[in-house]
Amino acid sequence: MTATSPTFSSKDEIHMAHARLKDLTQKQPFPTVEERQQALQRLHDSLLKNEIALLDALQADFGHRAPEESRLLELIPLLGEIKHAKRHVSKWMRASRRRVHISTLPASAKVMYQPKGVVGVISPWNYPVLLCLGPLVGALAAGNRVMLKVSEFCPETNSVLRTIVDQALGEDWIEFVEGEAEIANAFSQLPFDHLLFTGSTSVGHIIMRNAATNLTPVTLELGGKSPLLVAPSADLNDTAKKLVFGKTLNAGQTCVAPDYVLCHHDQKQALIDHMKQELAAYYPDGIQSPDYTSMINDRQLDRLKRYLDEARTAGVECDNLMPQGPIENDGKLAFHVLHQPNDELGVMQDEIFGPLLPILTYSELDDALSYIQQRPRPLAMYLFTQQNEDQARCEQQITSGSLVINHTLIQVAQADLPFGGIGTSGMGAYHAEEGFRTFSHSKSVLRKRGPNILSLFRPPYRRGIHKLIAKYWPFL
């Protein structure tokens, strides 16, 4: 179990790795609950053993990302998810009893939850630990072998992750795959028993097309534009605190970060003033504060700057809310508010994934709800209100992956809540019991005992029993 995972550089090697895991699955198709719990415990212990190395690697890959922030965003929720799965997996594995039709009696029926087999996981760069090992937790709890494809943008983190999974799982459970776009494309074409992808919607289309070749079931965790709706009754000081929290962690490079704000036009200036105060408290030296995270690379930074340039060219007012330092430095970009950008601009078409925040205003709450309804379904929606009626309307009228009332981002760290989008923001869910079900096959099992009542209904059909059926069948 301590053998080192190889580095893959060709499609043939990836196919061989998949075949090896497939062979292991055929030899041991149903790991016991003890084996699953032990694998999860070893993963937990290996994470703690390598914590400092992992935090240092994340700092190196991002350029600037405080170790405390990495621990908060990646390790704490991940360890909580492992503990939750280990505690509940025996209950999740229990078969559920089902009723049988009267014509089948005496008999018994159940649904058992069988490992799907070999699961593929393609993880992104923005949370290279949580979004790599989080799906692994559900897949292991369900008894699967796993191939992990990690992002090429986080080489230092990948090196530590490889050590972690080698120590915890080795060749018995996992294959660890690195490589760029060509390897990722080949990976998604493997005949997995299930494939989970976390990333952009555009790449999600490619992944789904590739998986369709083998009729591989997929879970897609995408993203999109998650709105934050400020109702007229909202506490604006509290709203600003939690908005800044959700938008600045990881410098906004979060799939469920608030992407744009809808507030009443009378609230706008007060909300911005509270945000300025909160940002100054978080980052007293502006972007030069050591706790402010960098963009992962120049490509992402340049993309955000293009959004700003396009908006300014279109006449949109763009305010820097962090005047204590430079606007840009060492891969960091100051937090900007964009006032009323039109829907045709890139900042309103694409997922922002950075510290830019469009603010739109409304006159009536119905108009704001209608605006959200008319757009692609978001991965998350955030509502700030003091009125239960507002919550009920959002629960019933807005379809989103999750709905959070009076906070941001905290839904991701809830070990007993499913996580997933709908429509362009994703397909399927993982975490919690729903994650176990995602990576399990629900197999029906029917056992017949005693006399065969159905023999009474065999041909020839002109016997008396069929006359009774014709008369009474709606009541059967």
DSSP structure string for 349-367 = HS---SSEEEEEEESSHHH
Integer CA distances (angstroms), 175 to 54, 151, 152, 347, in order: 19, 15, 16, 38
Q: Which of 255, 278, 351, 433 is labelled catalytic? A: 255
CA-CA distance, 132 to 221, in Å (whole number)?
Answer: 12
263 as an active site residue: the answer is no
255 as an active site residue: the answer is yes
Closest of 396, 358, 326 to residue 259, by C-alpha? 358
Where do we find the tokens 């795959």? 177
Sign of the dihedral through C-alpha 450, 454, 456, 460: negative
CA-CA distance, 239 to 277, in Å (whole number)?
Answer: 12
Closest of 230, 236, 249 to residue 359, by C-alpha? 230
Integer CA distances (angstroms), 54 to 10, 70, 74, 178, 294, in order: 27, 9, 10, 17, 17
Maximum CA extent, the chain: 92
Q: Which of 178, 221, 278, 433 is labelled catalytic? A: 221
Closest of 226, 138, 246 to residue 426, by C-alpha? 226
Structure tokens belonging to residue 200: 């952009």
The residues annotated with a catalytic role in the active site are 221, 255
